[in-house]
Structure 1
Amino acid sequence: MRTDKESIWYEQYPKEIPLEISYEKKPLPAFLKESAAHYADHHAMSFFGKQWSYQQLLTDASSFANQLIKLGIEKGDRVAIMLPNTPQSVISYYGVLMAGAIVVQTNPLYVERELNHQLIDSGAKAIVCLDMFYPRVMKAMENTSLEHVIVTGIKDALAFPKNILYPLTQRKNNEMKVQVDYNETTHHFHKLIEDGESVIPEVDIAPESDLALLQYTGGTTGPAKGVMLTHYNLVANTTQCLRWMYKMRQGKEKTLAVLPFFHVYGMTVSMNLSIMHAAELVILPKFDPEEVLKTIEKQKITLFPGAPTMYIGLLNNEKIHDFDLSSIEACISGSAPLPLEIQQQFEEVTGGKLVEGYGLTEASPVTHCNLIWEQRKEGSIGLPWPDTEAAILTQHGQFAPKKEIGEIAVRGPQVMKGYWNRPEETSAAFKDGWLLTGDMGYMDQEGYFYIADRKKDMIIAGGFNIYPREIEEVLYEHDNIQEAVVIGVPDPYRGETIKAFIVKKEGAEVNEKQLDDYCRSQLASFKVPRLYEFRNQLPKTSVGKILKRVLIEEEKEHRTSGHPS
């Protein structure tokens, strides 16, 4: 790859970043073992005042792995993890992999319908969930292969006296206390860990062929698909990230882990990178601007991977200047475009570096990033990472000249094995060995890449990839709706927000409140439309296809004229 004449981006690399990397062909948990061997007493995780050393994390993950094996989980079985960012999510993730099983990351916001599809499609035999999600899991179990439910709670990860006070806080906030019926198939996570053997299980894993992860991604043409990522895919992408952030000091960094681990970006750039480099994961279960500011100051955070909405939320917090944020050294922003003014303001406030990267679930996920400590270009997603080939393809599949817009395609060790049980869709995702991203863009004379237009129809709101087809299908199931179409419209905080255009059935009545309640019963909250517009008819082609592009252009005109609809 070093001699590839198209790889002109290599000329922009500083000497500290290698052009090629020799990747260790090891299972992903091997790096936890190594960090525990060299930094046994260093903090691996911190959660509201309670810490786990690397040795303790390894012990807990090993205990969990052995207990899964006792429950009948075998190599290649799928285990779903439905947790917010907590120490249990890290323990269970590495425990599942150490048992030779495949992690199925499940968004805790999923409602029964979404969860049921994922469990059926993956064939998961077990699920780890938070106690407050237990009723939802039980309702979603119909026709699944689930044999075991493993339940944990936030209070189980808290130090005294917070573990005593937390349930009282829940009751004060009128949060329902969930009764869990523990039995032969429903297990308490903490008790499993306590009763498990801490010896590391011996499981033969072939890193280049054995799957580590099924990461579900939405689709414009059908239900969510499971992206098959091998141990080698994840090791490669984490190693690439480590080499890109070459100023990281092994065993000395502190990573703010507020990006969800159930999102492949947070999993790689927060969790796996920190474990590989023996950094301390300072874990927050959700993004709360003031809590984040307090944590950065108190814990002296050095690395803060995030999404633009997070940095915007902090900058818009009136108390931001009350905190010392000078410990921050580097931040990689992903999941959505990073506005230049946000980058500049955040760097001015913290003194650290904030750069935009690019990737997709099918690539573990990162393929491009701006240089953190060297030249950056406004509006660019940056340069391809080491060992990552990138190209711009014309509509005829030819390589496009520089600065000409075409589809971005990538190749590299981080690219997926394919889609779970979907050979036809796997074949369609590749062309001559290149993964087609679906994103339109171009490359300049120095090898920097730019996005011109993203995947067809996809909405990026608050860092989440949202596929309108899924929302439209839910709306079409409503008794009073004749036609529905969903688009993304600009939003100063979320990047985009979801707007639904509705044509009611003749004589039927339905209002925004009713549709909001209905959608919340069928969709995760981040997929629920925030705006509705009722119309007598929608623009269509001569063959009756709804012209979504016309609606998008109308929205642009309304907003340009200062009259958003």
Structure 2
Amino acid sequence: MTTPDQPLHEYLRAHARQRPDHPALIWYGRAITWQELDAWSDALAAHLQGLGVQRGAPVALFMNNCPQYVVAHYAIQKIGAVVCPCGPLNKAHELQYQLSDLGAQVIIAADNLLPIVEQVRADTALRHVLAVRYADLLPEAPTLPVPPELQAAPAPLPPDCIDLLATARAGAERGERPAPVNVGMDDVALMTYTSGTTGLPKGAMLSYGNARFKTGVTVDNFGLADGHIALSVAPLYHIAGMLLGVNTPILAGATQVLLFRFDPVAVLQAIDRYQVTHWYSIAPMNVACMQVPDAARFDLRSLQRNPVTSFGITFTEALARQWQAFTRGPCVSYEAAYGLSETHTMDTGMPHDAIRWGTHGRPMPGVAIRIVDPDTGAEKATGDVGEITLLSAGNFKGYWKKPEATAKALKDGWVWTGDMGRLDDEGYLTFIGRTKEMIKVSGYSVFPEEVESILIKHPAVAQAAVLAEPDADKGEVVKAFIVKKAGTALDADALVAWCRDNMAPYKVPRHVRFIDALPSTGAGKVLRRLLKDEA
């Protein structure tokens, strides 16, 4: 995208100058203009400076999707401080770990999460708490179904909490702006904590330049532009949701319809009412939308692009055709990308005119990918499986206060991902699985994702996750955790028998355990370490 190389908040300021009354965000029918978004974030930035927040200081965000999240994100970055998302599903000990690791003195939290903040406050460096009420910006007559969580009458805020929206609005009316800060593109703008699937989370330090680079190539790949309408459902606190819900609409100048959480009827109504052109989804969302009774009453023909991430359900060519027929329009859908927090995600993108199913697309412009032997670093031949390594302007600066982990992950500028994959002769990447999660069965390498992708083909399996179980004879064997589809009957012996007919013998689970739900992050990534604890 041939636009100036500058922090993303400068694009927000430019849109506010050029078309102040045009909607930047739509929240259940409430339009928030570019001028409002810019002015509120300016006023909040000035207030944060008044609290003593300086360039490089961490500011924690602890909330679900809402317009205030976007306001806070850009307010923090306008003063050169660091956005530090904390997953709103975090328990007290998880929040305490992250806040203590950051040394954060300021947190912006949803009012329903304030009790958790209060539990950890005495054991952290927190000095200031700003509160967000999700319902504050709801219109009197919402145009989309409002989740019950947003309809509850707001409780009075504790006396030592600052009302974020009231503060931002009052400051905007007074024309308050932050004192200028010389923000460098190499400065840290974001500290996103890895999900900790195999260990304690680590803070990945990402710069303004990282964000600008990945946002630009993503806008180009998705074909997002001024005049388009993007629907945002994915969690904004997760790197993918942040890139696609916080950053890309700002750079492209697109209007964003924002939902608090996924609801299939709300998604269909939003596409219909607001003529949504672009939507990033997770595969089960598409399936849920197609199962809505009388869905044909919604006009979905405006939808042009729908990049999808496979999770629980593999997004196949057949499913994409079914989705296109369902929308009755020109919608092109495909596996979205491969990426990780340490690279601001979107390291690959799928060419819309050359989709290769079963892969994650080709390297984005400016991204180099090498497949190497994880032990020697020797580059693998085309088609061979090895560790995925990445080099681009999106690569992170390292892990916060973790020099040993940084040295292991960053080598000569390349990010060693710990992920295994292969490149075909046309440069398409196929992700195979995590090196750390690989199961060694009698000398054979078994990747959990490979077994899981087969297990979920069973008609009674809704979700599946597998991990290694120590075994005296084979070293390790596969243990499967299964979530059954509602109303189905399935026992372990029947599933194992089915597996023997559908996968190599060494991949067949030796142990099967049925559970009600898989432990996962808010973005849907299975937390295998919690499965290990449960096992």
Regarding TM over 0.5, the answer is yes
Q: Corresponding residue for 2:263?
A: 288
Q: Corresponding residue for 1:392?
A: 371
Is 2:26 the partner of 1:46? yes
Is 2:183 the partner of 1:215? no
333-342 or 376-385: which moved more?
A: 333-342
Q: What SS does structure 2 have at the residue aligned with 1:358?
A: coil
Q: Corresponding residue for 1:237?
A: 214
Deviation at 1:177, TM superposition (A): 6.1
Is 2:178 the partner of 1:249? no
**What letter is aligned with 1:278?**
G
424-433 or 378-387: which moved more?
A: 424-433
Matches within 5 A, 1:40-439: 40-160=20-140, 178-183=155-160, 186-196=161-171, 197-219=174-196, 222-246=199-223, 248-250=224-226, 252-334=227-309, 336=311, 338-350=315-327, 351=329, 352-356=331-335, 357-372=337-352, 374-395=353-374, 396-439=376-419
Q: String of CA shifts for 1:305-360, please: whole Å, max 9, x gaps.
A: 12222222222333332311111011222364533332222122223011211111
Deviation at 1:490, TM superposition (A): 4.4
Matches within 5 A, 1:485-496: 490-491=455-456, 496=463
- Distance in 1, matches of 2:369 and 2:8, equals 25
Matches within 5 A, 1:491-530: 491=456, 496-497=463-464
**What letter is aligned with 2:499?**
T
Q: What SS does structure 1 have at the residue aligned with 2:140?
A: coil
- Distance in 2, matches of 1:494 and 1:121, equals 39
Instruction: Give the gaps of 5 or more residues in structure 1.
Output: 1-20, 460-467, 469-486, 502-537
Note closer, same or farther for the CA distance 1:548–1:237 as it changes in structure 2 (3 Å cut). farther
**What letter is aligned with 1:343?**
A
Q: Is the 8 A contact 1:155 1:166 kept in 2?
A: no
Q: Is the 8 A contact 1:408 1:441 kept in 2?
A: yes
- Distance in 2, matches of 1:140 and 1:353, equals 46
Q: Is the 8 A contact 1:359 1:368 kept in 2?
A: yes
234-243 or 554-563: which moved more?
A: 554-563
Is 2:499 the partner of 1:560? yes
Deviation at 1:417, TM superposition (A): 0.7
**What letter is aligned with 1:439?**
D
- Distance in 1, matches of 2:398 and 2:277, equals 35
Q: What SS does structure 2 have at the residue aligned with 1:366?
A: coil
Deviation at 1:412, TM superposition (A): 0.2
Q: Is the 8 A contact 1:488 1:498 kept in 2?
A: no
- Distance in 1, matches of 2:67 and 2:461, equals 28
**What letter is aligned with 1:279?**
A
**What letter is aligned with 2:67?**
P
TM-score (structure 1 length as normaliser): 0.77
Q: String of CA shifts for 1:502-527, please: whole Å, max 9, x gaps.
A: xxxxxxxxxxxxxxxxxxxxxxxxxx
Work out the number of aligned pairs and report it. 472
Q: Is the 8 A contact 2:305 2:332 kept in 1?
A: yes
Q: What SS does structure 2 have at the residue aligned with 1:313?
A: helix
Deviation at 1:450, TM superposition (A): 1.1
**What letter is aligned with 1:560?**
C
Q: What SS does structure 1 have at the residue aligned with 2:216?
A: helix
Match of 2:470 among 539, 542, 559: 539
- Distance in 1, matches of 2:262 and 2:308, equals 15
Q: Is the 8 A contact 1:208 1:230 kept in 2?
A: yes
Q: Percent identity?
A: 28
154-163 or 74-83: which moved more?
A: 154-163
Q: Is the 8 A contact 1:489 1:497 kept in 2?
A: no
Note closer, same or farther for the CA distance 1:451–1:147 as it changes in structure 2 (3 Å cut). same
Note closer, same or farther for the CA distance 1:441–1:199 as it changes in structure 2 (3 Å cut). same
Deviation at 1:434, TM superposition (A): 1.6
307-316 or 63-72: which moved more?
A: 307-316
Q: What SS does structure 1 have at the residue aligned with 2:470?
A: coil
Q: Is the 8 A contact 2:21 2:33 kept in 1?
A: yes
Q: Corresponding residue for 1:5?
A: none
Note closer, same or farther for the CA distance 1:376–1:50 as it changes in structure 2 (3 Å cut). same
Instruction: Give the gaps of 5 or more residues in structure 2.
Output: 440-447, 483-491, 502-508, 514-535
Q: What SS does structure 1 have at the residue aligned with 2:281?
A: coil
TM-score (structure 2 length as normaliser): 0.81
Q: String of CA shifts for 1:412-467, please: whole Å, max 9, x gaps.
A: 001111111101001101233321122211111111111223453399xxxxxxxx
Q: What SS does structure 2 have at the residue aligned with 1:212?
A: strand
- Distance in 2, matches of 1:561 and 1:59, equals 62
